[in-house]
Amino acid sequence: MENLLFYIIAYLTGGIPFGYLVLKYKYGIDVRKEGSGNIGATNVLRVLKEKKPEIAKKVALMALIFDALKGAIIILIAKFFGMSLETQYAIAVFAVIGHCFSPFLGFEGGKGVATTAGVMLVLLPIEAIIGLIVWGIMAKVTKISSLSSLTGIIIGIASSYIIHPNLFEGSHAPLVIIALLVIYKHIPNIVRLIQGKESKVA
């Protein structure tokens, strides 16, 4: 019963759309109807660069941090209460699901990248740092957010097979589920990447 409660809280917490809420109620902008329509930090940045460039980076960074924290904090609370490692990883999965399919936005949501980074920083900090470094390099070189995010997530999670090969008896199932969720949410971006039509972040 305690585990179920944590899973529900993780899903609901993960579903809080910080980027959408800030733009909607502070600036009167519905980020779902602007730019790519995504609620994540990249689209927040893209939209505000056009409408309020002086605050664009600040607000986008805030959205990124809060999307990461909502995944991290619930796992830290679970650790405090002595929940098992298996439960912590399940919480991570539910937090990412919540972000990707928010109950507060008609089960639409973001792409799960920041929330994934948050949960991995708590559970697998070395792998998370590897993923963030790869993301940073790719972002600098390509300036394509989706490609940078996908590469960072995939490399970060893949590195867990080397650094923690015996995690869940080698299956790494929770991480694979998270990776598949992020890839699924990026399918339109992947199609545009293949077509050479994916936009860059200036």
Cross-strand partners of 108? 102
Query: Residue 144 in contact with residue 198, Cβ under 8 Å?
Result: yes
Residue 93's identity, in one-letter code, is V
Q: Phi and psi of 192, rounded to 5°?
A: -65, -35
Q: Phi and psi of 35, rounded to 5°?
A: 60, -130
- Both tokens of 104, joined, read 């507060």
Tokens 């995939």: give the residue.
154
Looking at residue 108, the DSSP 8-state letter turns out to be B
> Measured between alpha carbons, how far apart are the two ends of the chain, in Å?
48
Query: Residue 98 in contact with residue 15, Cβ under 8 Å?
Result: yes
Q: How far apart are CA 30 and CA 194, in angstroms?
A: 29
Digitized pLDDT (tens) for each residue of the chain, 202 residues in all: 778 999 999 999 999 999 999 889 888 899 999 888 888 888 998 898 888 888 889 999 999 999 999 999 999 999 999 999 999 999 999 999 999 999 999 999 999 999 999 999 999 999 999 999 999 999 999 999 999 999 999 999 999 999 999 998 778 999 999 999 999 999 999 999 999 988 887 5
Q: What would you report as the CA-atom Rg of the chain, rounded to the nearest whole angstrom?
A: 16
- Both tokens of 88, joined, read 């912590």
Which pLDDT value is given to residue 35? Answer: 83
Instruction: Report in angstroms the alpha-carbon separations of 129 from 23, 111, 117, 119, 154.
Output: 29, 19, 9, 12, 13
Tokens 């740092």: give the residue.
129
Please, what sign has the CA dihedral across residues 65, 107, 189, 117? positive
